[in-house]
Structure 1
Amino acid sequence: MSRSRRIRAEATAAWHSFLRRKTAVFFTFFFPVLLVVIFGVLVRTQPTDGGLFAEPAGYYLPGYLATVVLFTPLSRVGSEIARHRDDNRFEKLATTPLTRGEWLLAHTAVNVLIIGLASLLILGLVLLLTTASVPPVVGLLLLLPFIVLAVVLFCGFGALLGRLADSQDGVIAASNTIALPLLFLSDTFITLDQLPAWFGPLVDLSPLTYFARGVRAITYTPGEPYATELGVLAALAVAFFVAGAYAIPRTD
């Protein structure tokens, strides 16, 4: 069996496994809907009042998208590795030609599809429920590399968590502990001028910061350069994917 067929077979199995978990499917798409409704509709932005959510609605689109590119890969890939380990599946996989990198690539592809659909849902809700505007379709196509690279990065990160955590519950706890601070301290929902001066440089250490700034440059401030953010995100995506693939156990 060729490499492409191995990856396709594993991706197909992972996709059907996701669809069989109705609760996971529901909350994967319901969570971003809830986020947009709460922050975009119920907590309306007041640009002249200052404080949290004081920027125009379009400013927060990167934060909504960051939610799905961060939480979904961390929890799904980490939990999948923990589940495979608990069910002794890695011993069986070790007897097949499927490599660790191919396994992670297949599951990353499924996450790209899932998060791509969730991102389209978020874009539609933001346009429908808020005053935000987004660039035309050609401009939106520029979002694709940012979304794909962010998913690759956090799938690799999720694989590391799956290896380090000793159970599925441990993966969920670890992913939430890491993802929640990153979500709000990566130039997404909280602006830099609302943080202490000493904390500002630490924001640049978050991988999610480069996703948020790149997406904002495309959707909120068209014409602002984003090549640096894309380059950093690409380098981090490669590094985390390689580390995640190496961390996947071959045996239990």
Structure 2
Amino acid sequence: MSRLGRITAETRAAWYAFVRRRTAVFFTFFFPIILILIFGALIRTDPTDGGLFAEPAGYYVASYLAVVVLFTPLSRVGSEVARHREGNRFEKLATTPLSRAEWLLAQTLVNVAVIGLASLVILAMVLAVTDASFVASPLVVPYIALGVALFCGFGAVLGRVADSQDGVIAASNGVAIPLLFLSETFIPPAMLPEWFVPFMQLSPLTYFARGLRAATYEAPTGAMVGVGETGVVGVDPYLNLLVLAVLALGFFVAGAYALPRTD
């Protein structure tokens, strides 16, 4: 079987494995909907009053997308790796022509499809329940695809170092929650201590949220967005996409290398 055939077959198997888990399907789409209803409809933004949600609603569209791009691949791929380890499936895979990189690529393609659909749901919900403005940019697709690939690789590493599926969930939450709030997602750099702002450049999620926001959101005059102008690449969406691509490649290679050959 050719490499393309192996990846296609594994992608199909991974997709069917996902859709058979009804609870996983439900919460993959239900979680972002609840998030938007809470933060978008109940806790409304107030650009005139300061506080946590001090930016216009459109500023947070990239933040909502960052949530699903961050949490879903980390937990899904990490749990899948842990599940394969517990069932000695990597030992069986080692007897087939399927390489570790091909296996991870198949998992990544499934996650790109799943999170792409979830992102459409998020955008529809945001535009339905808030007054957010959104610029339909072709850069949305590569941002989501690269962000998913990055955190799939990261999830594979967590799945290798954690000792169980429960350990993966704890580790993924321990990584994702600080990243979510200490990157340029919901909390702008202007609201953080000045000494901490340079450290935000170390988060891969910063480049996703900052670049996607620059591509899809036009800040109104007077909004608190001088946000993200620190760092080497600033707010240019193409430069942030380039950094994200380099990081995605690095994390994917690390994740493929971390996958065990045998258990």
Mapping 1:27-38, distance limit 5 Å: 27-38=27-38
Once the two structures are superposed, the pairs formed by residues 53-202 of structure 1 within 5 Å of their partners are 53-136=53-136, 139=137, 141-202=138-199
What residue in structure 1 maps to residue 47 of structure 2?
Answer: 47
Pairwise CA RMSD of aligned residues?
0.9
Structure 1: how far apart are the matches of 2:14 and 2:246?
26
Select between 127-136 and 149-158 the one with higher mean Cα deviation.
127-136
- The one-letter code sitting in structure 1 at the alignment partner of 2:214 is A
Q: Look up the match of 2:244.
A: 233
* 1:225, distance to aligned residue in structure 2 (A): 2.8
Q: Distance in 2 between matches of 1:134 and 1:62?
A: 10
CA distances 1:60-113 after superposition (whole Å, capped 9, x unpaired): 011100011000000000000000000011111000000000000000000000
Give the match for residue 211 of structure 2.
214
Which amino acid is 2:171 matched to? A
Which AA in structure 1 matches 2:182? L
- String of CA shifts for 1:153-176, please: whole Å, max 9, x gaps: 000000000000000000000000
SS class of match (1:147): helix
2-side partners of 1:105 and 1:146: how far apart?
17
Deviations 1:162-198 (A, max 9, x none): 0000000000000000000101111110111111111
Q: Aligned equivalents of 1:225 and 1:243: distance in 2?
A: 27
Matched position secondary structure for 1:197: coil
Q: Distance in 1 between matches of 2:248 and 2:194?
A: 29
Q: After TM superposition, what 4+ stretches of structure 1 lie above 3 angstroms from structure 2?
A: none
When the two structures are aligned, how many residues end up with a matched partner? 248
> Amino acid of the residue matched to residue 52 of structure 2?
L
Q: Distance in 2 between matches of 1:134 and 1:59?
A: 9
Instruction: Tell me, in whole angstroms, the C-alpha distance in 2 between the residues paired with 1:62 and 1:226.
Output: 12
Amino acid at match of 2:2: S
Which residue is equivalent to 1:245?
256
Give the Cα–Cα distance (whole angstroms) in 2 for the partners of residues 35 and 53 of structure 1: 14
Supply the distance in 2 between the matched residues of 1:90 and 1:246 (Cα, whole angstroms).
13
Measure, in 2, the Cα distance between the counterparts of 1:135 and 1:173: 36
Aligned amino acid, residue 183 of structure 1: L
Identity %: 69
Deviation track 1:220-249 (CA, whole Å, cap 9, x = no partner) reads: 138x63121011100000000001000000
- Structure 1 CA distance for aligned equivalents of residues 171 and 25 of structure 2: 21
Question: CA–CA distance in 2 between the matches of 1:46 and 1:149?
Answer: 32
d(CA) in 1 for partners of 2:199 and 2:142? 25
Q: Give the drift of 1:55.
A: 0.5
**Structure-2 separation of matches of 1:226 and 1:26:** 32
Structure 2 gaps, min length 5: 220-234
- The answer for the alignment partner of 2:223 in structure 1 is none
Task: Give the helix-richer structure, 1 or 2.
Answer: 1
Match in the other structure for 2:200: 203
